[in-house]
Amino acid sequence: MPLNNEQNSECDSSRFSESAASSSSDSEYSRQSFTSDSSSKPGSPASTSPPKVVTFDEMMAAARNMSNLTLTHEIAVNENFHMERIELPQNSLLGRVKHIVHQAFWDRLEEDLNEDPPEYEHAIKLFEEIKEILLSFLNPGANRMRSQICEVLDADLIRQQAEHNAVDIQGIANYIISTMGKLCAPVRDDDVNQLKATENIVALFRQIFHVLDLMTMDMVNFTIQSLRPHLQRNLVDYERAKFQEILEETPSALDLTTEWIRESIQDELSSVSCETPSPPGANGTSKPNLSPTSVLTNSYLKLLQWDYQTKAIPETLMTDEGRLQELSEKLYQLKIIACVSLITSNMLASVIEGIPTFVEKQKNIAFVLLDGLNKKNFNLKEALNAIGIQTCSEINKSLTERSFPPLDKEVQANLVGQLCGIVDEDNSISSLIEKRIHLYMRSLLASPCLQKSMPAIPGGLVVVQAEMETIGTQYANIVNLNKQVYGPFYANILRKLLFGNDEVNKTELAPSTK
């Protein structure tokens, strides 16, 4: 019948206040890409044995562990996480099938109860299910109510009564409603009271199951809320142990993470080689002494410009994929707004000095017109053109109010053209702002405690300082927690890639062919 459907330091404690955009995307966080061989334990030497053959049972066990890890992480870090009933659209295939099946069941129940004498077998099955749901709401010590529920909704007793046509079905329904009123959350009082006004017995039981579904979801969310403090206290140890189990069952579970760190090493090597050319006579085979901390920081910064649509995220960050994607999208929007503000200030500095509220107005205009920036069909050049036109309009309005002539047409066209040029790959303003955002986010990761002081905001980003600090704090909280959980795994990978023997180094540090 288809009816029921640790943070010991002051600095670390703030990470748990970071929240996600919506829990609707939670299932996407557990996407898996375990495809090749890797080392198994943090701190263990690199394996020289052939890749392990992973059985179906081991893969299923790893999937369950990943699901548990993802759910636990989401409950702990997302204060807004809760479960909701899934309502299928009525015009969808599944929605129509559900409606037809349910309607058929209730129609059959009504026919049974209208027979002479009534047939109660379907009703008894309903009572049994209602009994189990009500019992699931009880605390362990509620023995008296447990006994009473079992006694009133005893299927064998009701069958005996049915044989003698002595079932008080309305009395049973009234008892169920009364018990629901005692067990429900205050938010469900009105729903339970409305049941008392339903006269048709079949419609009544249909509504009873609807309210029981709501009460079940209330209980689930109450349990989540109760568990959250405990999970927050033990999150690091739990996640690390769970991921170790995944790694033992699926040895390839660090392949993407290893590649992510390897790419960061290549970036660091390229940067060092550009800054310090090899001295004359060098054979070019020596390797700079890279800092593991610098490499890992660079790896985290790469996530802010990650292509989340086409590129798989490292396994150790899957639980935060949705949050990281959202932060990177917001950061890109702030970059565009900062570019708009900087270009306008450089071109019209003398004009906007006399308009105290102009910077904030332009910022608000940009936020509105850049809404949906990260959608596939969003036309950024058109949005920038609109921002330029609206900017000129606001400036001209202010100039007219002060009896000054409006901006020259050529100046307006030049401003709009400069703003539209932000989309060009070689745009110097866009590159400058991007570097300063990168510098600011790096300084956040190096800051010992963000609760006491925030790093100075670089020039050009002051217009979005408040938003940058909010995003930066959320980002740093994700990174700091991730370091605590997966630090031993990262240490093993870095040890292998940076400090292995020469043969391993030549292999691991070679440019990726993927």
For residue range 292-314, list pLDDT tens digits in order.
Answer: 899 999 999 999 999 998 899 99
Q: Indicate if the pLDDT at residue 416 is higher than 90.
A: yes
Residue 371 has pLDDT above 90, yes or no: yes
Assess whether 215 and 352 both reside in one domain: no
Q: Quote the number of domains for the chain.
A: 2
Which of 164, 191, 224 is the last residue in one of the domains? Answer: 224
In a domain, 162, yes or no: yes
| Per-residue pLDDT tens over the stretch 150-201 | 999 999 998 888 888 888 889 999 999 999 999 998 989 999 999 988 888 8
Give the pTM: 0.66
Q: Which amino acid is at 92?
A: S
Please say which residue of 224, 241, 269 terminates a domain. 224
User: To the nearest whole percent, how much of the chain has pLDDT over 90?
Assistant: 39
The overall average pLDDT reported for the chain is 80
**Region of poorest pLDDT, from 111-125, 300-314, 466-480:** 111-125
Last residue of a domain, one of 168, 203, 224: 224
Assess if residue 107 is contained within a domain. Answer: yes
Where is 233: in which H helix or E strand?
helix 201-249
469 and 351 in a single domain? The answer is: yes
Confidence grade of residue 235 (pLDDT, cut at 50, 70, 90): confident
Average pLDDT, stretch 348-358? 87
Q: Is the pLDDT higher at 364 or at 290?
A: 364
If one compares 499 and 451, the residue with the highest pLDDT of the two is 499
Mean pLDDT lowest among 166-170, 235-239, 246-250, 276-280 = 276-280
458 in the same domain as 345? yes
Q: Contact, 352 vs 359, CB < 8 A?
A: yes
Same domain flag for 329 and 456: yes
Same-domain status, 334 and 481:
yes
Distances 203 to 3, 198, 210, 211 between C-alpha atoms, Å? 14, 7, 11, 12
Residue 85, judged by CB atoms within 10 A of its CB (0-12, 13-18, 19+), counts as: exposed
> In terms of domains, do 339 and 469 share one?
yes
Q: How far apart are the first and last CA of the chain?
A: 50
What pLDDT does residue 35 have?
A: 32
Give a yes or no: residue 144 inside a domain: yes
In a domain, 4, yes or no: no
Please tell me whether residues 334 and 217 are part of one structural domain. no
Same domain, 105 and 212: yes
Q: Give 96's pLDDT tier (boundaries 50, 70, 90).
A: confident
Measured between alpha carbons, how far is 480 from 136 in angstroms, rounded to an integer? 39
Do you find a cis peptide bond into 51, omega within 30 degrees of 0? Answer: no
Please tell me which residue, 75 or 325, carries the higher pLDDT value: 325
What mean pLDDT do residues 375-395 have? 93
CA 272 to chain centre: 35
CA 96 from centre of chain: 31
- State residue 220 phi and psi, 5-degree precision: -60, -45
pLDDT value of position 335: 96
Better-scored residue on pLDDT, 352 or 283: 352
pLDDT computed for residue 295 by the predictor: 92
Tokens of 316: 């150790």
Residue with tokens 């299923």: 60
Nearest to 315 by CA among 53, 508, 493: 493
C-alpha distances (whole Å) from 96 to each of 99, 108, 305 are 5, 18, 43
Is there a domain that residue 230 lies in? no
Tokens of 488: 């031993």
Domain range for 216: 93-224
Residues 363 and 478 in one domain: yes
Instruction: Give a yes or no: residue 398 inside a domain.
Output: yes
- Choice among 65-79, 111-125, 271-285, 459-473 with the minimum mean pLDDT: 271-285
Report residue 77 as tokens: 């870090």
For residue 129, is it within any domain? yes
Sign of CA dihedral 304, 310, 315, 320: positive
239: which residues sit within 8 A by CB, 6+ positions away?
Answer: 69, 72, 73, 319, 485
Could you report the per-residue pLDDT of 61-79, keeping only the tens digit for each? 656 666 777 777 777 777 7
Res 60: pLDDT: 58
Q: Could you tell me the two tokens for 108?
A: 């059959």
Q: What is the pLDDT of residue 63?
A: 61
What is the DSSP code (8-state) at residue 280? Answer: T
Look up residue 87 and give its amino acid. Answer: E
Q: What is the DSSP letter of 448?
A: S
Supply the pLDDT for residue 94: 78
For residues 485 and 277, the model is more confident at: 485
Of 1-10, 223-232, 281-290, give the lowest mean pLDDT range.
1-10
Q: What is the pLDDT of residue 66?
A: 66
The DSSP call for residue 79 is T
Task: Please report whether residue 481 resides in a domain.
Answer: yes
